[in-house]
Amino acid sequence: MKTYYDNVLKEENTALRFPSFKNGDCVQKLVASMPDDLPLGEWELHTLEDMKWNDNHQCHINYWSRHIIKSMRWLMGQPAYAEHRIYAPQRCFNSDTPLKRLYTEMHTADWWWETQETRDIRV
């Protein structure tokens, strides 16, 4: 697996997508640091019997899923993601003149601001 990660990280433009990983060892250390004691839920097999892929492929459609709330709790409880979680809305701008607003992630959108303003959040 380390060789696979090393090869992916050497690909063109990969450094732009994964700036925190220098090699496969970094990826494996991050994965190893993730606690495995949170319940993630078991995979469940589902079949869509009333749907087919197409006329030439008449088999039923099978898919796997996990309980979304358990999965989100597991993801949110991972220390590896802690520094990347953003809850507060942000307005980002480029460095050009005149400034232009950037919409790069969900928390940079107007929707995020509007939703935050309308929520009655009590801690």
Residue 28 has pLDDT above 70, yes or no: yes
Q: Which residue did the predictor score with more confidence, 38 or 81?
A: 81
pTM score over 0.85: no
Say how far apart CA 49 and CA 18 lie, in whole Å: 40
Q: What is the pLDDT of residue 56?
A: 73
Domain ranges of the chain: 1-32, 37-85, 86-123
The answer to whether 23 and 5 are in contact (CB under 8 A) is yes
Say how far apart CA 35 and CA 48 lie, in whole Å: 34
| Mean pLDDT of all residues in 26-48 | 74
**β 44-54/57-65 pair status:** antiparallel
| Mean pLDDT of all residues in 99-114 | 87
